[in-house]
Amino acid sequence: MSVLPTGPALVTVLTAILMFGLAFQVGRARIKHRVMPPQMTGPPEFERTLRVQGNTLESSVPFLAVLWVFALTVSQVWATVLGLVWIAARVAYAVGYIRSASGRLPGFMISTLIFLALMLGSLVGLLLDLTRSPSAP
């Protein structure tokens, strides 16, 4: 057994797989719509696929940051549960947004709410840490 909390670590690897999968989708969309690198504009479906990948990266970095602080100060189990729902919401966002611009909204809203919950929980967890251990190094 390693020292790593398994649940949040699994969510982290799944987030990495999601980012990799979406970059792969951009590669496929480049071939389908004949948009050669380094071009970043093309038909609407290509540009939506590009935004899915870009927005997911932009969301994953702050998500992973608060996921780990939440896991280590509040609850590993809840970090894992919320993390898995976040990933499902981001998959729904990707599938919906590639189809149409409005299709991005349900997944976007659910993943944003989960981010906010992890973020507020992290701040509370850090505050409790500080008050519980005033003499810690």
Q: What residues line the site for its own copies (CB under 8 A)?
A: 1-4, 6, 9-10, 12-13, 15-17, 19-20, 23, 36-40, 44, 47-48, 50-51, 53, 57-66, 68-69, 72-73, 76, 97, 101, 104, 115, 119, 122-123, 125-126, 129-130, 132-133, 136-137
Q: What is the DSSP letter of 3?
A: S
- What's the Cα-to-Cα distance from 111 to each of 31, 33, 56, 82, 105, rounded to whole Å? 30, 29, 10, 9, 10
Considering beta carbons, is residue 5 or 85 the nearer one to its own copies? 5
Alpha-carbon torsion, ordered 21, 33, 108, 67, to 10 deg? 20
Give the shortest CB-74-to-its own copies separation in angstroms: 9
Which two three-digit tokens encode residue 54?
A: 């870009």
Considering beta carbons, is residue 14 or 85 the nearer one to its own copies? 14
Considering beta carbons, is residue 48 or 90 the nearer one to its own copies? 48
Helix ranges, the chain (H): 6-32, 44-73, 76-99, 105-132
Give the shortest CB-90-to-its own copies separation in angstroms: 13
